[in-house]
Amino acid sequence: MRYLTAGESHGPQLTVIIEGLPSQLPFSREKVDEQLARRQKGYGRGRRMQIESDRVQVLSGVRFGKTTGAPVTLVIENKDWTHWKKVMGTDPIPEYAEKRRVSRPRPGHADLNGALKYGHRDIRDVLERSSARETAARVAVGAVARQMLELCGIRVAGHVVRIGTAEAEATPDLPLEEILRRAEDSPVRCLDPQAEKEMMRLIDEAKKEGDSLGGIVEVIVEGAPAGLGSHVHWDRKLDARIARAVVSIQAFKGVEIGIGFEAARRKGSQVHDEILWAEDRGFYRATNRAGGFEGGMTTGERIVVRGVMKPIPTLYKPLRSVDIETKEPFAASIERSDSCAVPAACVVAENVVAWEVAQALMEKFPADTMTEMVEQVEQYRRRIARF
């Protein structure tokens, strides 16, 4: 299975083509819209989100509520496009090209590197595509993947563990239902009410100062059987693929699996998870410090992935930069921005992880129909329970 996304932040729409989905996968547009709406929410979002109300349109590959096996095309309109028709149009309008040219690269964005690489003298040709608006498309893909995972008994949740200096208290044993419920009820997707208050206070403070805040999100996948991914080759390791997917989210700078960087401080006996066996459970682990992975394969325990997002680089507070035309220094600042998009990024992280797990599932249980896949998964679960 694979997918491609296309579309600019202020162009007419975002487009996704997903290829290789099995047929007979129940496809609910409402479930995709639900994920899109979750991504739009979150304390600290800017004014653009008041313009957009993301809804998916399905243009191919689905009939009577099920996939046909043909490529699925999804489209999400940019409502803001109506204000940008000329500037973002495909027809050459010389006076607009000149008047609306962006020549001031913003520190922390793709602006300067993209302009150098692609030879653009109008930085808009870079920033429109590097924008995190693209994550709406990836969330739609993840929403489809989730429908596939659900049928195989796999569920995904996410929550925010840090914004700036505010950190949520760890609650590793919380049931998934509870994580889903509490995160959904929180304006910052945080499970800890004390930390939630502090996070909101810090966001207000950053906003007032014209500054921005980053944070850490955690994604949990429950119900994945042991043995997804593979130890036999580097690019088949599922933890590595998940790491790539998470770091590819706009503004993400790092990933941890399980206890992650903490493992460097501990002795081996305090890191590895002891193997236990019980008649009714088969093999399981005493702890889950590995975050659900050993040897690039799932262990059958929860997958626990954390991603760190840097503060959004579009700042009201000016940072020094240099105009690419005049070579004059200037102070980069903007008119509109999110002051914190960590809660939204948490939803993006959930959905990119969901896609990677779905893809690994398809590799282990190749199937043309969803029924075939579910049968294989159930048979495999029975086999490893008796191992």
Q: Which of 5, 67, 131, 339 binds ligand EPS (CB under 6 A)?
A: 131
Closest to ligand EPS by CB, 273 or 338: 338
Q: In sequence order, what E strands does 279-337 have?
A: 282-285, 293-294, 297-298, 303-309, 319-322, 329-332
Q: Could you give the CA distance from residue 87 to residue 154 in angstroms, rounded to a whole number?
A: 44
Q: Which of 338, 349, 358, 365 binds ligand EPS (CB under 6 A)?
A: 338
Q: Which of 117, 208, 317, 336 binds ligand EPS (CB under 6 A)?
A: 336
- 3-state helix vs strand vs coil in the chain, percent to 5: 40, 20, 40
Q: Which residue of this chain has its Cβ atom nearest to ligand EPS in the complex?
A: 48
Give phi and psi for 320, each to the nearest 5. Answer: -70, 140
Q: Which residue is associated with the tokens 């207000």?
A: 204
Task: Give the pair of three-digit tokens for residue 102.
Answer: 């962006």
With binding defined as CB under 6 A, does residue 20 bind ligand EPS? no
Closest to ligand EPS by CB, 1 or 132: 132
To the nearest whole angstrom, how small is the minimum distance from the Cβ of residue 193 to ligand EPS? 26
Closest to ligand EPS by CB, 40 or 103: 40
With binding defined as CB under 6 A, does residue 35 bind ligand EPS? no
With binding defined as CB under 6 A, does residue 314 bind ligand EPS? yes
With binding defined as CB under 6 A, does residue 133 bind ligand EPS? yes
With binding defined as CB under 6 A, does residue 48 bind ligand EPS? yes
Q: Pick from 360, 345, 355: which is nearest to 132 by CA?
A: 345
Give phi and psi for 335, each to the nearest 5. Answer: -105, -25
Q: Is 45 part of any known ligand binding site? A: yes
Q: Is 310 part of any known ligand binding site? A: yes
Q: Could you give the CA distance from residue 244 to residue 240 in angstroms, rounded to a whole number?
A: 6
Closest to ligand EPS by CB, 118 or 194: 118
Q: Is 131 part of any known ligand binding site? A: yes
- CA dihedral 259→214→143→222, nearest 10 degrees, is 20
Neighbours of 308 (CB within 10 A): 19
Q: Could you give the CA distance from residue 281 to residue 299 in angstroms, rounded to a whole number?
A: 13
Q: Could you give the CA distance from residue 279 to residue 285 in angstroms, rounded to a whole number?
A: 14
Q: Total residues contacting ligand EPS (rule CB under 6 A)?
A: 13
CB-based contact 238:360 (threshold 8 Å): yes
Closest to ligand EPS by CB, 250 or 298: 250
With binding defined as CB under 6 A, does residue 221 bind ligand EPS? no
Q: Which of 74, 136, 220, 358 binds ligand EPS (CB under 6 A)?
A: 136
Integer angstrom CA distances of residue 209 from 205, 339, 367: 6, 10, 54
Q: Is 250 part of any known ligand binding site? A: yes
To the nearest whole angstrom, how small is the minimum distance from the Cβ of residue 303 to ligand EPS? 25
Closest to ligand EPS by CB, 46 or 153: 46
Q: Is 92 part of any known ligand binding site? A: no
Binding site residues, ligand EPS, CB under 6 A: 9, 46, 48, 52, 80, 131-133, 136, 250, 314, 336, 338
Known binding residues for FMN are 129-131, 250-251, 295, 310-314, 336
Known binding residues are 39, 45, 129-131, 250-251, 295, 310-314, 336
Known binding residues for NADP(+) are 39, 45
